[in-house]
Chain A
């Protein structure tokens, strides 16, 4: 037994290492990135387990399935919107005969600290009909990662571990236990359980549906789904999920009536425990981190005369993350007294591109050339360069999801917009921009794609891009962009006028142009110097 002070993400990484993981895959995305960073560092120091970043979340998920096919345990990590990219592999993985445990760690971002939406991964686990575990603190993050591997092998399907930003990026002490050995190589015996042809898939779907009762029984009996019944209080009871537990416990000492309490951290939900609690009280208060998933589910399970207080009646906010304050109205507690309201109207301080950032130089080139044109459009993508949307640059007009700059540019050019430019980073291009470029080449669309190549995955802290920058030009040419219209430029103000000329020329060309604007991220360069 040893004690470590770790981030929630790092607790998951340690849980995987001690849980006998053999292979670790992922794509960087806040707030999940630190799981793989820990695993990569550990792997390098200890010559194992195998750990590497993947091109995107889908390739990561599929690589983990290959590990499982070989009988070994695999972990795959991503942020919540990454699961949309991996969804094809994820949904079908539920139908495979998993023998080597597969744990899919998905870090949600309620409050959208660093994301495009606040989707709740519990819906995906429910959709795929596989178990999901949700820790409330670093210790549980460690314990549940280990448990998830065992559960995956017990239930014969992948298991999801759901984190949220406030747990991923919060630090506390954990106690670890003895490591488990890796599984030996042991290839899946029956290939019919791994080839999802319709006949096999129907049989596997039937098997998965048959295992639902085992999953519910596991959840009913799990000590995580702790239920304390107060016989004396039939007025109200409380259900918490995820970090809702912490904020409830934080406020509980002020409650005079000691309500019965059920916490849910293991899914599918423990239906009997919910029914028992509901039958005992007049009002159920539900505090959930994320969408009102449990609340919606049980509104259909329970008698109509029961009052449910939560997100659906707007007592708990439907948007954003929970905190110790916004759970208080549901618990009928008043707001606390504070020292002072703000003493003046405070100017906001939004994030911005670093001083000397190469993206800044590229956006200035685009902005000045745009000013000369009667009409132009700039689509952008997910990464640091999204910050070019803020003043004084204010250049991008769309930011949708990984890779969508190129495809949205294509669609809008084909609809009749002129001088359409797509701005995409090197890592995002390799994640899911390649296929969009194939579409453009195939249709000979009139777009100018600007790959802002800072030679790193900057926004998530400077991970190494999956392919070195030097390969980008040959990748783009290989897809079929005319060699004369694949141009590498230096993203630096000393090349400003030259770069403007090149952009003007490529906008004038009625076809696919790719400009690769290269200069290393200044933050990465600074770190490398240290």
Chain B
């Protein structure tokens, strides 16, 4: 078994904490995990991308090959389109539908929708609305993980354990709202 994910978003959106939850869950489920991150200049409000590789065997490369990713998991719709050449022909795109407009030439809504329409396998998530429902706008990234969960090689219980491991020091209220965000996300299809 191997499962390769390209994670994308805009610097400051919490792509790395989203990655940490999936990585912790996969490690908890007994898989080997490698995760390549972006630090420094690339983080400052620019496009951010990370490679995550989950496998039950040896993983050599930190980077995923073009056409090899099983999933593009994105916190932002424009960013979800940037890495499609990494996606395998059978791969799925899971993305937030809420744009981050911090550039002057951001595409029109209609163009963005039309581009996303051309992606054959996809799950589109309005993470903002669901995060509000979960009790905190900060849980948007867990809504996205929830929406991806049916494709991931880890179960909801593994994800919840990971949330607990990573967030318990921030208090039970935060853990609970993240649990709820995962649940709400998992109902999106």
- A residues contacting B by CB (< 8 A) are 5, 7, 30-31, 33-34, 113-114, 166-167, 169-173, 243, 245-247, 249-250, 323-325, 335-344, 346-354, 384, 387, 391, 459-461
Contact = CB atoms under 8 A, between A and B. Distances in A.
B82 interface: yes
Given A340-B118, A344-B107, A349 B78 contact: yes
Nearest to B47: A349
A249 B61 CA distance: 8
B186 to A, nearest CB: 24
Given A250-B60, A324-B63, A337-B89, A384 B44 contact: yes
A323 B36 contact: no
Contacts of B43: 351
B21 to A, nearest CB: 13
B1 interface: no
A130 B59 CA distance: 32
B87 A340 contact: yes
A191 B41 CA distance: 44
Nearest to A325: B66
Contacts of A384: 44
Interface residues of B, number: 56
Given A324-B68, A325-B66, A351 B36 contact: no
B23 interface: yes
27 contacts: A5-B27, A30-B40, A31-B40, A114-B40, A166-B36, A171-B33, A173-B32, A245-B60, A246-B62, A247-B61, A249-B61, A324-B64, A337-B88, A338-B88, A338-B89, A339-B84, A339-B91, A342-B81, A343-B81, A343-B116, A349-B10, A349-B46, A351-B44, A351-B46, A352-B44, A353-B45, A384-B44
A420 to B, nearest CB: 26
A339 B89 contact: yes
Given A323-B63, A339-B67, A340-B119, A171 B44 contact: no
B38 A166 contact: no
Interface of B: 10-12, 23, 27, 32-47, 59-68, 78-79, 81-82, 84-91, 102-107, 111, 114-116, 118-120
A336 B64 CA distance: 12
Contacts of A5: 23, 27, 33
Contacts of A348: 47, 103
A171 B39 contact: no
A243 B63 CA distance: 10
Contacts, number: 169
Contacts of B12: 354
A172 B63 contact: no
A520 to B, nearest CB: 17
A113 B62 contact: no
6 tightest A-B contacts by CB?
A: A30-B40, A114-B40, A351-B46, A338-B67, A324-B65, A336-B67
B67 to A, nearest CB: 4
Contacts of A353: 44-45
Interface centre among A171, A172, A343, A384 (most CB of B within 10 A): A171
A351 B39 contact: no
B27 A173 contact: yes
A324 B104 CA distance: 34
Given A170-B62, A324-B68, A338-B87, A343 B46 contact: no
A459 B78 contact: no
A323 B84 contact: no
Contacts of A31: 39-40
A114 B60 contact: no
A343 B78 contact: no
Given A33-B39, A249-B60, A337-B88, 16 more contacts: A30-B40, A114-B42, A169-B36, A170-B34, A173-B33, A243-B62, A338-B89, A340-B118, A341-B85, A343-B118, A344-B115, A347-B103, A347-B107, A348-B47, A349-B47, A459-B44
B78 A250 contact: no
Nearest to A337: B67
A346 B81 contact: yes
Nearest to B91: A339
A91 B4 CA distance: 43
B102 A352 contact: yes
A488 B106 CA distance: 39
Contacts of B46: 349-352
A518 B36 CA distance: 35
Contact of A352 (B45, B68, B107, B120): B45
Contacts of A173: 27, 32-33
A76 to B, nearest CB: 20
Given A169-B37, A336-B67, A351-B43, A246 B61 contact: yes
Nearest to A251: B65
A346 B77 CA distance: 11
Given A325-B66, A335-B66, A352-B46, A342 B38 contact: no
Nearest to B79: A349
A343 B116 CA distance: 8
A250 B58 CA distance: 10
Contacts of A347: 78, 103, 105-107
Contacts of B68: 324, 336
B97 to A, nearest CB: 16
B58 to A, nearest CB: 8
Contacts of B23: 5, 171
A349 to B, nearest CB: 4
B108 to A, nearest CB: 11
